[in-house]
Structure 1
């Protein structure tokens, strides 16, 4: 049986736009190791449909399909040397997009050779053009090959001194999408007997609270029922625990948001995931929603 899910009312990216808004195409290109994957992930989080290294003919077909469907209005395409010659020069795609009246942004990322070489060394990856592992020669060839894309760029960004979070923020700010991503929180109740949720960023164990399961009048109910809620919340330790959890999250959630994280999962567990954790998860969800966070509550094991 599916877990019970209750969602706070939130807006998804771009729902305010008219369906007849022109397509927005963002082409991300640049040197290997300069941060293209980071930019693509940021675009996806902002609601863009992103694909990696499409040939020109397929890229144009993708634009036509999206334009016809009217469902996708924001497209990101990573185009670089890994896809061969068509990744180095998207001239036909750019011309087609401009002719169709689309909004077009071309982002070109680069960095100092020494920085790129260090990044390749740290990740133990091989440069796609580096024969006999000569990364510096591979970068020289790549720079020459990507000259047409660099010349077409609307934004050229040196990422040598940028962290992943700084690069993400810079790109979204340049595109006017920094406000489109709403930081969100999922509060999940669960039963330890069924395992700790692997997606949880925080796990709180509340098995020290008195268990309604041992009250025959409450056993068949759940933490959503008022009688169980009264039983759990009448315990001083319940309110003290909620206050302590809220104090911690008041400190950490804004910092997660500032670092570029878009979602945090807070898990609250009791033995079976039916009574105590359900009650406290619901209370925490309401508290976080009142604090302005887009919050969802999931009762993973309530029907087990």
Structure 2
């Protein structure tokens, strides 16, 4: 018998664990997503029509009327409704990792905005413990990248057409080590280095004149063509094996010029071939040259920052 119930996902968890990243991923999977939803408005919202793909509602301790007993009552009431298929998703993370994320982003903890994040983290983990115990899905993000979290959610909540393979390209500096979780690595340190051109030294591979300089190296075009050809051969095989995400590292000495240029060029080539591609420039983010993307610290949308 076909299940005609409306699919409703309630997403909660401690601040910094990745709730917003999860909400954004679920929205990409076709659910209508609303973050920071006041508890008192949820029953009224569900009195109206529910989109065919279902809804994902983000609820956490920052909501103005948040209370754990009230949320538990809401969960039970929705589970009792014959027209709703409810799932409570708890996005979890250990205290040490949460503290690191708050320290890196210099964000204030919502439960202790005037004090140290450590105390706010402790309070929130204790506060949310009953929700963690009753969750239908418990997703631990301490060792996950945003892309890993997206892939984990895709296993349970993405429609087949939404769970396409996502290709992440990461530029990096070999001096700072390989990017964590990379499936493939390509070394472009043999290309002409703009660092030795005084007029280009402070620029990055995001600038047209650095890209033009690197592209003038007679080895650049064949290198890019061969990587593209290899990936266009490998990626369909990866997708056929059920993978939802592949991370590819592009490295140079400083992670500023050549690797950034190759990453941007490769992203364009893969996108033209119909692949869903995201880019991250690790060393530029470290230096504050560009903003990192969405993070598990509840940032923006593209899911590229921890």
Partners of 1:139 and 1:109 in 2: CA distance: 14
Q: 1:87 to 1:177 in 2, by over 3 A?
A: farther
CA contact 2:7–2:54 (8 Å) conserved in 1: yes
Aligned residue number for residue 104 of structure 2: 122
Cα RMSD (Å): 4.2
Aligned residue number for residue 258 of structure 1: 245
Q: 1:72 to 1:63 in 2, by over 3 A?
A: farther
Aligned residue number for residue 72 of structure 2: 91
Deviations for 1:249-270, whole angstroms, at most 9, x for unmatched residues? 6168668962389xx99769xx
Partners of 1:177 and 1:26 in 2: CA distance: 15
The DSSP-based 3-state class of the residue aligned with 1:94 is helix
Partners of 2:117 and 2:90 in 1: CA distance: 20
The DSSP-based 3-state class of the residue aligned with 2:46 is helix
Aligned residue number for residue 61 of structure 2: 81
Partners of 2:49 and 2:227 in 1: CA distance: 44
The DSSP-based 3-state class of the residue aligned with 1:26 is strand
Aligned residue number for residue 152 of structure 2: 170
Aligned residue number for residue 122 of structure 2: 140
Partners of 1:87 and 1:156 in 2: CA distance: 20
The DSSP-based 3-state class of the residue aligned with 1:25 is strand
Structure 1 position 85, deviation (Å):
4.5
Structure 1 position 125, deviation (Å):
0.9
Aligned residue number for residue 103 of structure 1: 85
Deviations for 1:149-186, whole angstroms, at most 9, x for unmatched residues? 2232112222111121211111221336466333599x
- Say whether 1:27 aligns with 2:14: no
Which stretch shows the higher mean deviation, 36-45 or 77-86?
77-86
- Structure 1: any 5+ residue segments left out of the alignment? 1-17, 186-197, 205-239, 269-283, 295-304
After TM superposition, the score normalised by the length of structure 2 is 0.54
Alignment of 1:188-199 (within 5 A): none
- Structure 2: any 5+ residue segments left out of the alignment? 168-205, 213-221, 249-263, 277-306
After TM superposition, the score normalised by the length of structure 1 is 0.54
Deviations for 1:229-249, whole angstroms, at most 9, x for unmatched residues? xxxxxxxxxxx9xx8796276
Aligned residue number for residue 141 of structure 2: 159
CA contact 1:66–1:73 (8 Å) conserved in 2: no
- Match 1:44 to one of 27, 36, 39: 27
Which stretch shows the higher mean deviation, 245-254 or 21-30?
245-254
Q: 1:124 to 1:157 in 2, by over 3 A?
A: same
Partners of 2:115 and 2:233 in 1: CA distance: 46
Partners of 1:267 and 1:157 in 2: CA distance: 33
CA contact 2:10–2:59 (8 Å) conserved in 1: yes
Partners of 1:66 and 1:260 in 2: CA distance: 39
Structure 1 position 64, deviation (Å):
2.0
Partners of 1:72 and 1:62 in 2: CA distance: 15
Which one has the largest radius of gyration? 1
Aligned residue number for residue 229 of structure 2: 247
Deviations for 1:174-224, whole angstroms, at most 9, x for unmatched residues? 336466333599xxxxxxxxxxxx9xxxx99xxxxxxxxxxxxxxxxxxxx
The DSSP-based 3-state class of the residue aligned with 2:22 is helix
CA contact 1:48–1:76 (8 Å) conserved in 2: yes
